[in-house]
Structure 1
Amino acid sequence: MTSTITSNDQPDTTTVSAGHTPYTVWRTGAGKPMLAEDDQIAREVPVALEFNGISHATLLLTPANLEDFAVGFAYTEGIIRNARDVYDLEIVERPQGLVVEVTIASACLNELKLRRRNLAGRTGCGLCGIESLDEVQRQLDPLPPQPGRYTTQAIAKAVEQLRSMQALHQTTGATHAAGWANSAGDIEYVREDVGRHNALDKLIGHRLRLSPQETAANDAGFAVISSRASFEMVQKAASAGISTLVAVSAPTSYAIDMANQLNVMLAGFARGSLFTVYSHHEYLDSGSAS
Protein backbone atom coordinates (compact mmCIF):
# COMPACT_ATOMS: atom_id res chain seq x y z
CA MET A 1 0.00 0.00 0.00
CA THR A 2 2.53 2.58 -1.02
CA SER A 3 1.52 6.06 -2.14
CA THR A 4 2.07 6.92 -5.78
CA ILE A 5 2.60 10.43 -7.11
CA THR A 6 0.49 10.78 -10.23
CA SER A 7 -0.12 13.45 -12.81
CA ASN A 8 -3.54 14.88 -13.47
CA ASP A 9 -3.94 12.91 -16.72
CA GLN A 10 -2.74 9.56 -15.39
CA PRO A 11 -4.98 8.37 -12.53
CA ASP A 12 -3.41 6.02 -10.00
CA THR A 13 -5.37 2.83 -10.66
CA THR A 14 -3.67 1.03 -7.78
CA THR A 15 -4.92 3.62 -5.31
CA VAL A 16 -8.42 3.57 -6.77
CA SER A 17 -8.65 -0.22 -6.65
CA ALA A 18 -7.49 -0.22 -3.02
CA GLY A 19 -10.36 2.13 -2.22
CA HIS A 20 -13.28 -0.03 -3.34
CA THR A 21 -14.54 -3.59 -3.27
CA PRO A 22 -16.97 -5.50 -5.53
CA TYR A 23 -20.46 -6.29 -4.25
CA THR A 24 -23.69 -7.62 -5.74
CA VAL A 25 -26.66 -5.26 -5.42
CA TRP A 26 -30.30 -5.39 -6.55
CA ARG A 27 -31.60 -2.50 -8.65
CA THR A 28 -35.31 -1.81 -8.45
CA GLY A 29 -37.91 0.92 -8.07
CA ALA A 30 -41.63 1.53 -7.99
CA GLY A 31 -43.20 -0.86 -10.48
CA LYS A 32 -39.78 -2.03 -11.68
CA PRO A 33 -38.41 -5.60 -11.68
CA MET A 34 -35.54 -6.43 -9.35
CA LEU A 35 -32.25 -7.00 -11.17
CA ALA A 36 -28.98 -8.25 -9.68
CA GLU A 37 -25.93 -6.23 -10.76
CA ASP A 38 -22.27 -6.05 -9.86
CA ASP A 39 -21.35 -2.80 -8.11
CA GLN A 40 -18.29 -1.22 -6.46
CA ILE A 41 -18.50 -0.12 -2.83
CA ALA A 42 -16.15 2.39 -1.18
CA ARG A 43 -14.02 0.67 1.44
CA GLU A 44 -14.18 1.95 5.01
CA VAL A 45 -11.90 0.16 7.46
CA PRO A 46 -10.58 0.80 10.99
CA VAL A 47 -7.07 2.23 10.83
CA ALA A 48 -5.06 2.64 14.03
CA LEU A 49 -2.20 5.13 14.22
CA GLU A 50 0.76 4.31 16.45
CA PHE A 51 3.64 6.72 16.99
CA ASN A 52 6.81 5.21 18.44
CA GLY A 53 4.77 2.30 19.73
CA ILE A 54 2.19 4.56 21.41
CA SER A 55 -1.42 4.09 20.30
CA HIS A 56 -2.77 7.51 19.36
CA ALA A 57 -5.99 7.20 17.37
CA THR A 58 -8.24 4.76 15.54
CA LEU A 59 -10.24 6.12 12.65
CA LEU A 60 -12.46 4.83 9.86
CA LEU A 61 -11.07 5.68 6.46
CA THR A 62 -10.44 4.46 2.94
CA PRO A 63 -7.27 2.31 2.93
CA ALA A 64 -5.54 4.13 0.06
CA ASN A 65 -2.64 6.59 0.36
CA LEU A 66 -2.24 5.70 4.03
CA GLU A 67 1.32 6.99 4.10
CA ASP A 68 0.08 10.40 2.98
CA PHE A 69 -2.68 10.25 5.58
CA ALA A 70 -0.37 9.37 8.47
CA VAL A 71 2.05 12.19 7.65
CA GLY A 72 -0.72 14.72 7.01
CA PHE A 73 -2.64 13.79 10.15
CA ALA A 74 0.49 13.97 12.31
CA TYR A 75 1.34 17.37 10.85
CA THR A 76 -2.10 18.97 11.10
CA GLU A 77 -2.42 17.63 14.65
CA GLY A 78 0.85 19.41 15.53
CA ILE A 79 2.68 16.17 16.37
CA ILE A 80 5.46 16.56 13.78
CA ARG A 81 7.09 19.72 12.45
CA ASN A 82 7.73 18.48 8.90
CA ALA A 83 8.01 15.24 6.94
CA ARG A 84 11.63 14.81 8.03
CA ASP A 85 10.39 14.07 11.55
CA VAL A 86 8.99 10.80 10.21
CA TYR A 87 11.81 8.26 10.26
CA ASP A 88 9.88 5.15 9.30
CA LEU A 89 6.35 4.13 8.44
CA GLU A 90 4.94 0.63 8.15
CA ILE A 91 1.42 -0.59 7.49
CA VAL A 92 0.50 -3.80 9.31
CA GLU A 93 -2.63 -5.79 8.52
CA ARG A 94 -4.50 -7.19 11.51
CA PRO A 95 -7.74 -9.22 11.62
CA GLN A 96 -9.64 -6.19 12.97
CA GLY A 97 -8.17 -3.66 10.52
CA LEU A 98 -4.92 -1.89 9.70
CA VAL A 99 -2.24 -0.41 11.94
CA VAL A 100 0.04 2.36 10.67
CA GLU A 101 3.21 2.19 12.76
CA VAL A 102 5.07 5.49 12.55
CA THR A 103 8.49 6.20 13.99
CA ILE A 104 8.98 9.90 14.65
CA ALA A 105 11.79 12.06 16.01
CA SER A 106 12.17 11.91 19.78
CA ALA A 107 11.86 15.71 19.85
CA CYS A 108 8.21 15.27 18.82
CA LEU A 109 7.25 12.95 21.66
CA ASN A 110 6.20 15.78 23.97
CA GLU A 111 3.80 17.14 21.32
CA LEU A 112 2.51 13.61 20.84
CA LYS A 113 1.61 13.38 24.50
CA LEU A 114 0.00 16.83 24.49
CA ARG A 115 -2.09 16.06 21.42
CA ARG A 116 -3.01 12.50 22.31
CA ARG A 117 -6.67 11.96 21.52
CA ASN A 118 -9.12 9.17 22.08
CA LEU A 119 -10.32 8.97 18.50
CA ALA A 120 -12.43 5.97 17.62
CA GLY A 121 -14.03 5.73 14.21
CA ARG A 122 -14.01 9.37 13.18
CA THR A 123 -15.09 10.04 9.63
CA GLY A 124 -16.98 13.30 10.06
CA CYS A 125 -16.67 15.10 13.38
CA GLY A 126 -13.37 16.89 13.83
CA LEU A 127 -13.57 17.13 17.60
CA CYS A 128 -13.95 13.48 18.60
CA GLY A 129 -11.57 12.74 21.46
CA ILE A 130 -11.10 16.37 22.51
CA GLU A 131 -11.55 16.60 26.26
CA SER A 132 -11.77 20.34 26.90
CA LEU A 133 -12.63 23.59 25.13
CA ASP A 134 -9.01 24.69 25.40
CA GLU A 135 -8.02 21.90 23.03
CA VAL A 136 -10.42 22.86 20.25
CA GLN A 137 -8.41 25.57 18.51
CA ARG A 138 -4.66 25.28 17.94
CA GLN A 139 -2.50 28.36 18.31
CA LEU A 140 -1.44 29.16 14.75
CA ASP A 141 0.20 32.27 13.34
CA PRO A 142 -1.76 34.07 10.60
CA LEU A 143 -0.50 33.37 7.10
CA PRO A 144 1.09 36.15 5.03
CA PRO A 145 -1.61 38.09 3.13
CA GLN A 146 -1.97 37.27 -0.58
CA PRO A 147 -3.77 40.23 -2.19
CA GLY A 148 -4.53 39.88 -5.89
CA ARG A 149 -2.97 36.43 -6.12
CA TYR A 150 -5.77 34.37 -7.68
CA THR A 151 -8.11 34.83 -10.60
CA THR A 152 -11.77 33.89 -10.64
CA GLN A 153 -11.10 31.91 -13.81
CA ALA A 154 -8.45 29.79 -12.08
CA ILE A 155 -10.75 28.91 -9.20
CA ALA A 156 -13.65 28.01 -11.49
CA LYS A 157 -11.32 25.88 -13.59
CA ALA A 158 -10.03 23.98 -10.54
CA VAL A 159 -13.54 23.27 -9.28
CA GLU A 160 -14.55 21.84 -12.65
CA GLN A 161 -11.39 19.73 -12.89
CA LEU A 162 -11.80 18.32 -9.40
CA ARG A 163 -15.23 16.98 -10.30
CA SER A 164 -13.79 15.03 -13.24
CA MET A 165 -10.74 13.76 -11.31
CA GLN A 166 -12.55 12.02 -8.45
CA ALA A 167 -11.92 8.54 -9.79
CA LEU A 168 -12.93 6.72 -6.62
CA HIS A 169 -16.12 8.78 -6.26
CA GLN A 170 -17.01 8.10 -9.89
CA THR A 171 -16.64 4.38 -9.17
CA THR A 172 -18.47 4.28 -5.82
CA GLY A 173 -20.33 7.58 -5.31
CA ALA A 174 -19.34 7.57 -1.63
CA THR A 175 -16.13 9.54 -1.17
CA HIS A 176 -14.91 13.10 -0.64
CA ALA A 177 -11.93 14.61 -2.42
CA ALA A 178 -9.29 17.26 -1.79
CA GLY A 179 -7.28 18.56 -4.72
CA TRP A 180 -4.29 20.85 -5.10
CA ALA A 181 -4.46 23.38 -7.95
CA ASN A 182 -1.65 25.56 -9.22
CA SER A 183 -2.13 29.30 -9.62
CA ALA A 184 -3.53 28.76 -13.13
CA GLY A 185 -6.26 26.49 -11.75
CA ASP A 186 -4.87 23.17 -13.00
CA ILE A 187 -5.38 20.36 -10.48
CA GLU A 188 -2.04 18.65 -9.92
CA TYR A 189 -3.07 15.86 -7.55
CA VAL A 190 -6.15 14.62 -5.75
CA ARG A 191 -6.70 12.51 -2.65
CA GLU A 192 -10.01 10.80 -1.80
CA ASP A 193 -11.52 9.24 1.30
CA VAL A 194 -14.89 8.45 2.85
CA GLY A 195 -14.11 11.22 5.38
CA ARG A 196 -13.60 14.82 4.27
CA HIS A 197 -11.01 15.48 7.00
CA ASN A 198 -9.12 12.38 5.95
CA ALA A 199 -9.06 13.44 2.30
CA LEU A 200 -7.55 16.81 3.24
CA ASP A 201 -5.00 15.17 5.56
CA LYS A 202 -3.98 12.88 2.70
CA LEU A 203 -3.55 15.87 0.40
CA ILE A 204 -1.46 17.75 2.98
CA GLY A 205 0.60 14.64 3.70
CA HIS A 206 1.30 14.20 0.00
CA ARG A 207 2.49 17.80 -0.26
CA LEU A 208 4.75 17.33 2.75
CA ARG A 209 6.31 14.25 1.18
CA LEU A 210 7.16 16.03 -2.09
CA SER A 211 10.72 17.16 -2.66
CA PRO A 212 11.53 20.80 -1.76
CA GLN A 213 11.86 21.57 -5.48
CA GLU A 214 8.42 20.13 -6.26
CA THR A 215 6.82 21.93 -3.33
CA ALA A 216 8.39 25.28 -4.26
CA ALA A 217 7.15 24.88 -7.84
CA ASN A 218 3.50 24.81 -6.78
CA ASP A 219 3.46 26.77 -3.52
CA ALA A 220 1.37 29.50 -5.14
CA GLY A 221 -1.62 27.20 -5.52
CA PHE A 222 -4.75 26.52 -3.50
CA ALA A 223 -6.86 23.63 -2.21
CA VAL A 224 -10.30 22.59 -3.46
CA ILE A 225 -12.52 20.26 -1.43
CA SER A 226 -15.70 18.42 -2.40
CA SER A 227 -17.43 19.05 0.92
CA ARG A 228 -18.54 21.77 3.28
CA ALA A 229 -15.86 23.84 5.00
CA SER A 230 -15.83 23.30 8.76
CA PHE A 231 -13.51 25.16 11.12
CA GLU A 232 -11.13 22.20 11.28
CA MET A 233 -10.77 22.11 7.51
CA VAL A 234 -9.68 25.76 7.64
CA GLN A 235 -7.39 25.04 10.58
CA LYS A 236 -5.75 22.13 8.74
CA ALA A 237 -5.26 24.27 5.64
CA ALA A 238 -3.73 27.15 7.60
CA SER A 239 -1.42 24.82 9.52
CA ALA A 240 -0.07 23.59 6.17
CA GLY A 241 0.43 27.10 4.79
CA ILE A 242 -2.53 26.86 2.38
CA SER A 243 -3.81 30.41 2.01
CA THR A 244 -6.94 29.65 -0.04
CA LEU A 245 -9.53 26.94 0.52
CA VAL A 246 -12.38 26.47 -1.97
CA ALA A 247 -15.33 24.25 -1.02
CA VAL A 248 -18.20 23.06 -3.18
CA SER A 249 -20.60 23.46 -0.25
CA ALA A 250 -21.10 26.05 2.50
CA PRO A 251 -18.79 27.00 5.36
CA THR A 252 -19.79 27.36 9.00
CA SER A 253 -19.59 30.57 11.03
CA TYR A 254 -16.65 29.19 13.02
CA ALA A 255 -14.82 28.37 9.79
CA ILE A 256 -15.35 31.93 8.51
CA ASP A 257 -14.13 33.44 11.80
CA MET A 258 -11.02 31.29 11.72
CA ALA A 259 -10.34 32.05 8.06
CA ASN A 260 -10.50 35.77 8.81
CA GLN A 261 -8.14 35.37 11.77
CA LEU A 262 -5.59 33.20 9.94
CA ASN A 263 -5.58 35.11 6.63
CA VAL A 264 -7.15 32.30 4.63
CA MET A 265 -9.39 33.14 1.69
CA LEU A 266 -12.40 30.89 2.15
CA ALA A 267 -14.80 30.31 -0.73
CA GLY A 268 -17.87 28.10 -0.83
CA PHE A 269 -20.83 27.06 -2.99
CA ALA A 270 -18.35 26.66 -5.85
CA ARG A 271 -20.55 25.38 -8.68
CA GLY A 272 -19.69 25.88 -12.31
CA SER A 273 -18.17 29.33 -12.77
CA LEU A 274 -19.79 30.80 -9.64
CA PHE A 275 -18.64 30.80 -6.03
CA THR A 276 -19.09 32.84 -2.87
CA VAL A 277 -16.14 34.37 -1.00
CA TYR A 278 -16.55 34.54 2.78
CA SER A 279 -13.16 35.89 3.86
CA HIS A 280 -10.29 37.87 2.34
CA HIS A 281 -11.89 38.63 -1.01
CA GLU A 282 -8.88 40.87 -1.70
CA TYR A 283 -6.90 37.73 -2.61
CA LEU A 284 -8.77 37.74 -5.92
CA ASP A 285 -7.36 39.75 -8.79
CA SER A 286 -9.86 42.59 -9.14
CA GLY A 287 -9.50 42.55 -12.92
CA SER A 288 -10.04 38.81 -13.33
CA ALA A 289 -13.83 39.00 -13.19
CA SER A 290 -14.12 41.44 -16.05
Structure 2
Amino acid sequence: MTWRDEPVRIIRHDRTDQANRTVAVEAPVAIEVDGIGYAVMMATPADLEAFATGFALTERLADTIDDVADIEPFEAKAGWVVRVTLHDRCKGRIHDRVRHRTSDTACGLCGIAGLEQVQRPVAAPAPPPVADQGAIFAALAHLRARQPLNAATGAVHGAAACDPTGTIIATFEDVGRHNALDKLIGWLAIERRAADGFLLVTSRLSFEMVDKALVARAPMLVGISAPTTMAIDHARAHRLTVVALARPDAILAVVDPTGLFASSGEKPE
Protein backbone atom coordinates (compact mmCIF):
# COMPACT_ATOMS: atom_id res chain seq x y z
CA MET A 1 0.00 0.00 0.00
CA THR A 2 1.48 3.33 -1.05
CA TRP A 3 -1.43 5.57 -0.04
CA ARG A 4 -4.44 5.74 2.26
CA ASP A 5 -7.44 8.02 2.70
CA GLU A 6 -7.62 10.32 5.72
CA PRO A 7 -10.57 12.45 6.87
CA VAL A 8 -9.85 16.19 6.72
CA ARG A 9 -11.69 19.48 7.06
CA ILE A 10 -11.49 21.97 4.21
CA ILE A 11 -11.65 25.44 5.74
CA ARG A 12 -12.70 28.32 3.51
CA HIS A 13 -13.44 31.96 4.31
CA ASP A 14 -17.16 31.35 4.56
CA ARG A 15 -17.57 27.66 5.47
CA THR A 16 -15.97 24.40 6.54
CA ASP A 17 -16.48 21.12 4.70
CA GLN A 18 -15.57 17.55 5.54
CA ALA A 19 -13.76 15.44 2.96
CA ASN A 20 -11.28 12.62 2.45
CA ARG A 21 -7.71 13.24 1.37
CA THR A 22 -5.41 10.67 -0.20
CA VAL A 23 -2.13 10.64 1.74
CA ALA A 24 1.18 9.08 0.69
CA VAL A 25 2.40 6.26 2.92
CA GLU A 26 5.73 6.92 4.60
CA ALA A 27 7.33 4.02 6.45
CA PRO A 28 10.71 3.15 7.98
CA VAL A 29 12.67 0.81 5.73
CA ALA A 30 15.64 -0.82 7.45
CA ILE A 31 18.44 -1.89 5.12
CA GLU A 32 20.59 -4.74 6.40
CA VAL A 33 23.72 -5.64 4.49
CA ASP A 34 25.32 -9.02 5.15
CA GLY A 35 23.52 -9.22 8.48
CA ILE A 36 24.57 -5.76 9.65
CA GLY A 37 22.10 -2.90 10.09
CA TYR A 38 23.27 -0.17 7.74
CA ALA A 39 20.49 2.43 7.51
CA VAL A 40 16.88 3.12 8.25
CA MET A 41 15.33 5.22 5.51
CA MET A 42 11.92 6.85 5.60
CA ALA A 43 10.47 5.79 2.27
CA THR A 44 7.46 4.75 0.24
CA PRO A 45 7.30 0.95 0.79
CA ALA A 46 7.15 -0.08 -2.87
CA ASP A 47 9.74 -1.36 -5.36
CA LEU A 48 11.99 -2.26 -2.44
CA GLU A 49 14.20 -4.65 -4.41
CA ALA A 50 14.99 -1.90 -6.89
CA PHE A 51 15.47 0.55 -4.03
CA ALA A 52 17.93 -1.69 -2.19
CA THR A 53 19.83 -2.42 -5.39
CA GLY A 54 20.18 1.24 -6.26
CA PHE A 55 21.06 2.06 -2.66
CA ALA A 56 23.85 -0.55 -2.62
CA LEU A 57 25.26 0.83 -5.86
CA THR A 58 25.09 4.52 -4.99
CA GLU A 59 26.49 3.85 -1.51
CA ARG A 60 29.46 2.10 -3.21
CA LEU A 61 28.73 -1.10 -1.30
CA ALA A 62 28.47 -2.81 -4.70
CA ASP A 63 29.95 -1.87 -8.04
CA THR A 64 27.56 -3.69 -10.38
CA ILE A 65 24.37 -5.71 -10.18
CA ASP A 66 26.53 -8.85 -10.25
CA ASP A 67 27.91 -7.91 -6.82
CA VAL A 68 24.43 -8.28 -5.29
CA ALA A 69 23.81 -11.94 -4.45
CA ASP A 70 20.33 -11.66 -2.94
CA ILE A 71 17.74 -9.14 -1.75
CA GLU A 72 14.94 -10.13 0.61
CA PRO A 73 12.35 -7.51 1.59
CA PHE A 74 9.72 -8.31 4.20
CA GLU A 75 7.24 -6.42 6.34
CA ALA A 76 7.87 -6.25 10.07
CA LYS A 77 5.74 -4.90 12.90
CA ALA A 78 7.49 -1.51 12.96
CA GLY A 79 8.01 -1.12 9.22
CA TRP A 80 9.94 -2.92 6.50
CA VAL A 81 13.27 -4.73 6.44
CA VAL A 82 15.33 -5.33 3.32
CA ARG A 83 18.14 -7.86 3.69
CA VAL A 84 20.91 -7.47 1.13
CA THR A 85 23.56 -10.12 0.62
CA LEU A 86 26.70 -9.15 -1.29
CA HIS A 87 29.10 -11.43 -3.06
CA ASP A 88 32.38 -12.15 -1.30
CA ARG A 89 34.50 -9.56 -3.08
CA CYS A 90 32.38 -6.72 -1.64
CA LYS A 91 31.75 -8.03 1.85
CA GLY A 92 34.54 -6.05 3.52
CA ARG A 93 33.02 -2.71 2.54
CA ILE A 94 30.19 -2.88 5.03
CA HIS A 95 32.64 -3.10 7.93
CA ASP A 96 34.41 0.06 6.76
CA ARG A 97 31.25 2.13 6.98
CA VAL A 98 29.01 0.28 9.37
CA ARG A 99 26.60 2.23 11.49
CA HIS A 100 22.88 2.19 12.21
CA ARG A 101 20.98 5.42 12.49
CA THR A 102 17.62 6.75 11.37
CA SER A 103 17.65 8.99 8.30
CA ASP A 104 14.85 11.29 7.22
CA THR A 105 13.54 11.69 3.68
CA ALA A 106 16.21 14.31 2.94
CA CYS A 107 19.12 11.95 3.64
CA GLY A 108 21.35 11.35 0.68
CA LEU A 109 24.76 10.57 2.17
CA CYS A 110 24.15 7.54 4.33
CA GLY A 111 27.01 5.86 6.13
CA ILE A 112 29.12 9.01 6.09
CA ALA A 113 30.97 9.54 9.36
CA GLY A 114 33.22 12.48 8.47
CA LEU A 115 33.59 15.28 5.96
CA GLU A 116 36.53 13.59 4.28
CA GLN A 117 34.20 10.79 3.14
CA VAL A 118 31.84 13.03 1.18
CA GLN A 119 33.94 13.05 -1.98
CA ARG A 120 33.72 9.38 -2.87
CA PRO A 121 35.44 8.03 -5.99
CA VAL A 122 33.64 8.18 -9.31
CA ALA A 123 34.56 5.32 -11.64
CA ALA A 124 34.65 7.36 -14.86
CA PRO A 125 33.51 10.67 -16.36
CA ALA A 126 29.95 10.82 -17.58
CA PRO A 127 29.46 9.76 -21.20
CA PRO A 128 28.71 12.54 -23.69
CA PRO A 129 25.00 13.34 -24.06
CA VAL A 130 23.08 12.45 -27.20
CA ALA A 131 19.63 13.82 -26.28
CA ASP A 132 18.89 17.45 -27.18
CA GLN A 133 16.44 20.05 -25.88
CA GLY A 134 13.65 18.57 -28.01
CA ALA A 135 13.97 15.28 -26.15
CA ILE A 136 13.87 17.06 -22.79
CA PHE A 137 10.72 18.97 -23.69
CA ALA A 138 9.13 15.74 -24.94
CA ALA A 139 9.82 14.01 -21.63
CA LEU A 140 8.53 16.95 -19.61
CA ALA A 141 5.27 16.86 -21.55
CA HIS A 142 4.61 13.28 -20.41
CA LEU A 143 6.14 13.28 -16.92
CA ARG A 144 3.00 14.24 -15.01
CA ALA A 145 1.06 11.32 -16.50
CA ARG A 146 3.77 8.96 -15.26
CA GLN A 147 3.36 10.05 -11.61
CA PRO A 148 0.09 8.49 -10.40
CA LEU A 149 0.99 8.54 -6.70
CA ASN A 150 1.92 12.20 -6.79
CA ALA A 151 -1.26 12.97 -8.72
CA ALA A 152 -3.24 11.34 -5.92
CA THR A 153 -1.30 12.75 -2.97
CA GLY A 154 0.80 15.74 -4.09
CA ALA A 155 3.48 14.54 -1.69
CA VAL A 156 6.03 12.41 -3.52
CA HIS A 157 8.99 12.87 -5.85
CA GLY A 158 9.57 11.12 -9.14
CA ALA A 159 12.63 9.96 -11.05
CA ALA A 160 12.41 8.92 -14.69
CA ALA A 161 14.78 7.30 -17.17
CA CYS A 162 14.41 8.71 -20.67
CA ASP A 163 15.83 7.44 -23.94
CA PRO A 164 17.66 9.76 -26.37
CA THR A 165 14.34 10.75 -28.01
CA GLY A 166 12.78 11.79 -24.71
CA THR A 167 10.55 8.74 -24.38
CA ILE A 168 10.14 7.85 -20.70
CA ILE A 169 11.04 4.20 -20.24
CA ALA A 170 10.56 3.96 -16.47
CA THR A 171 9.43 6.16 -13.58
CA PHE A 172 9.63 5.55 -9.83
CA GLU A 173 8.04 7.56 -7.03
CA ASP A 174 8.89 7.97 -3.36
CA VAL A 175 8.44 10.41 -0.49
CA GLY A 176 12.22 10.84 -0.62
CA ARG A 177 13.82 12.30 -3.72
CA HIS A 178 16.99 10.24 -3.20
CA ASN A 179 14.92 7.10 -2.72
CA ALA A 180 13.07 7.64 -5.99
CA LEU A 181 16.37 7.98 -7.84
CA ASP A 182 17.84 4.93 -6.10
CA LYS A 183 14.79 2.91 -7.14
CA LEU A 184 15.27 4.00 -10.73
CA ILE A 185 19.00 3.25 -10.71
CA GLY A 186 18.33 -0.13 -9.12
CA TRP A 187 15.74 -0.98 -11.77
CA LEU A 188 18.14 -0.03 -14.56
CA ALA A 189 20.78 -2.30 -13.02
CA ILE A 190 18.39 -5.22 -12.53
CA GLU A 191 17.13 -4.88 -16.10
CA ARG A 192 20.71 -4.33 -17.33
CA ARG A 193 19.62 -1.22 -19.18
CA ALA A 194 21.86 1.76 -19.77
CA ALA A 195 20.83 5.29 -18.83
CA ASP A 196 21.63 6.27 -22.41
CA GLY A 197 19.36 9.30 -22.72
CA PHE A 198 18.98 11.24 -19.48
CA LEU A 199 17.61 11.02 -15.96
CA LEU A 200 14.74 13.37 -15.10
CA VAL A 201 13.92 14.18 -11.46
CA THR A 202 11.20 16.30 -9.90
CA SER A 203 13.42 17.78 -7.21
CA ARG A 204 16.30 20.15 -6.70
CA LEU A 205 19.66 19.04 -8.03
CA SER A 206 21.90 18.58 -5.02
CA PHE A 207 25.36 17.03 -4.71
CA GLU A 208 24.07 13.57 -3.92
CA MET A 209 21.61 13.55 -6.85
CA VAL A 210 24.50 14.34 -9.20
CA ASP A 211 26.60 11.67 -7.50
CA LYS A 212 23.89 9.04 -8.03
CA ALA A 213 23.56 10.03 -11.70
CA LEU A 214 27.31 9.55 -12.10
CA VAL A 215 27.10 6.08 -10.55
CA ALA A 216 24.34 5.27 -13.06
CA ARG A 217 26.62 6.42 -15.91
CA ALA A 218 23.95 8.85 -17.10
CA PRO A 219 25.02 11.32 -19.79
CA MET A 220 22.67 14.00 -18.48
CA LEU A 221 20.69 14.88 -15.35
CA VAL A 222 17.60 17.05 -15.72
CA GLY A 223 15.68 18.51 -12.77
CA ILE A 224 12.59 20.66 -12.51
CA SER A 225 14.12 22.62 -9.62
CA ALA A 226 17.38 24.50 -9.15
CA PRO A 227 20.91 23.17 -8.55
CA THR A 228 23.26 23.78 -5.64
CA THR A 229 26.88 24.87 -5.87
CA MET A 230 28.21 21.47 -4.86
CA ALA A 231 26.03 19.80 -7.48
CA ILE A 232 27.43 22.07 -10.17
CA ASP A 233 31.04 21.56 -9.05
CA HIS A 234 30.63 17.78 -8.83
CA ALA A 235 28.99 17.59 -12.26
CA ARG A 236 31.59 19.85 -13.84
CA ALA A 237 34.46 17.83 -12.37
CA HIS A 238 33.09 14.64 -13.94
CA ARG A 239 31.67 16.11 -17.17
CA LEU A 240 28.02 15.40 -16.40
CA THR A 241 25.62 17.58 -18.36
CA VAL A 242 23.12 19.20 -15.99
CA VAL A 243 19.86 20.93 -16.93
CA ALA A 244 17.82 22.65 -14.23
CA LEU A 245 14.56 24.53 -13.78
CA ALA A 246 13.12 22.43 -16.58
CA ARG A 247 9.70 23.72 -17.59
CA PRO A 248 7.49 23.05 -20.63
CA ASP A 249 8.57 26.38 -22.15
CA ALA A 250 12.23 26.71 -21.07
CA ILE A 251 15.18 24.87 -19.55
CA LEU A 252 18.39 26.09 -17.94
CA ALA A 253 21.65 24.55 -19.17
CA VAL A 254 23.84 24.70 -16.05
CA VAL A 255 26.75 22.39 -16.86
CA ASP A 256 27.39 21.77 -20.56
CA PRO A 257 30.84 20.20 -20.93
CA THR A 258 30.36 19.13 -24.56
CA GLY A 259 28.69 22.31 -25.78
CA LEU A 260 25.43 20.50 -26.56
CA PHE A 261 23.38 23.62 -25.89
CA ALA A 262 25.99 26.15 -27.01
CA SER A 263 25.22 28.84 -29.55
CA SER A 264 27.38 29.23 -32.64
CA GLY A 265 30.82 30.44 -31.63
CA GLU A 266 30.53 29.42 -27.98
CA LYS A 267 33.09 27.03 -26.53
CA PRO A 268 32.26 23.98 -24.39
CA GLU A 269 33.07 24.18 -20.68
Same fold (TM over 0.5): yes
Structure 1 residues 226 and 278 mapped into 2: Cα distance closer, same or farther (>3 Å)? Answer: same
Partner residue of 1:166? 147
User: Is it true that 1:253 corresponds to 2:229 in the alignment?
Assistant: yes
Take 2:111 and 2:63, find their aligned partners in 1: how far apart are those partners? 22
CA deviation string 1:16-39 (max 9, x = no partner): xx211121112122222x222222
User: Is it true that 1:106 corresponds to 2:82 in the alignment?
Assistant: no
- Map 1:47-126 → 2, pairs under 5 A: 47-126=29-108
User: Which of 212, 218, 221 is 1:236 aligned to?
Assistant: 212
Q: TM-score, normalised by structure 1?
A: 0.86
Contact 1:122 1:128 in 2 (8 A): no
Q: TM-score, normalised by structure 2?
A: 0.92
User: Is it true that 1:25 corresponds to 2:8 in the alignment?
Assistant: yes
What letter corresponds to residue 78 of structure 1 in structure 2?
R
User: Is it true that 1:282 corresponds to 2:263 in the alignment?
Assistant: no
What letter corresponds to residue 229 of structure 2 in structure 1?
S
User: Which of 196, 214, 225 is 2:177 aligned to?
Assistant: 196
Partner residue of 1:9? none
Take 2:261 and 2:131, find their aligned partners in 1: how far apart are those partners? 6
- For this pair of structures, how many residues does the alignment match? 264
Among all aligned residue pairs of Structure 1 and Structure 2, give the percentage whose two residues are the same amino acid: 39
Contact 1:157 1:186 in 2 (8 A): yes
What's the offset of the Cα at 1:205? 0.3
Equivalent residue of 2:60, what SS?
coil
Take 2:55 and 2:110, find their aligned partners in 1: how far apart are those partners? 14
* Structure 1 alignment gaps of length 5 or more: 1-17
Contact 1:78 1:115 in 2 (8 A): no
Structural RMSD (CA): 1.9
Partner residue of 1:14? none
What's the offset of the Cα at 1:140? 0.9
Contact 2:59 2:110 in 1 (8 A): no
Contact 2:126 2:217 in 1 (8 A): no
Take 1:57 and 1:275, find their aligned partners in 2: how far apart are those partners? 36
Equivalent residue of 2:63, what SS?
coil
Partner residue of 2:198? 222
Take 1:248 and 1:281, find their aligned partners in 2: how far apart are those partners? 20
Partner residue of 1:153? 134
Equivalent residue of 2:29, what SS?
strand
Take 1:115 and 1:82, find their aligned partners in 2: how far apart are those partners? 19
User: Is it true that 1:179 corresponds to 2:179 in the alignment?
Assistant: no
Take 2:126 and 2:74, find their aligned partners in 1: how far apart are those partners? 40
Structure 1 residues 279 and 44 mapped into 2: Cα distance closer, same or farther (>3 Å)? Answer: same
Relative to structure 2, which stretch is displaced further, 176-185 or 100-109?
A: 100-109
Contact 2:223 2:246 in 1 (8 A): yes
What letter corresponds to residue 67 of structure 2 in structure 1?
D
CA deviation string 1:46-105 (max 9, x = no partner): 010011211111010000111110000000000012112222221222211111111211
Structure 1 residues 113 and 228 mapped into 2: Cα distance closer, same or farther (>3 Å)? Answer: same
Contact 2:97 2:112 in 1 (8 A): no
What's the offset of the Cα at 1:163? 2.2
Contact 2:240 2:255 in 1 (8 A): yes
CA deviation string 1:157-190 (max 9, x = no partner): 1122212211110010000000000000011110
What letter corresponds to residue 249 of structure 1 in structure 2?
S
Contact 1:143 1:243 in 2 (8 A): no
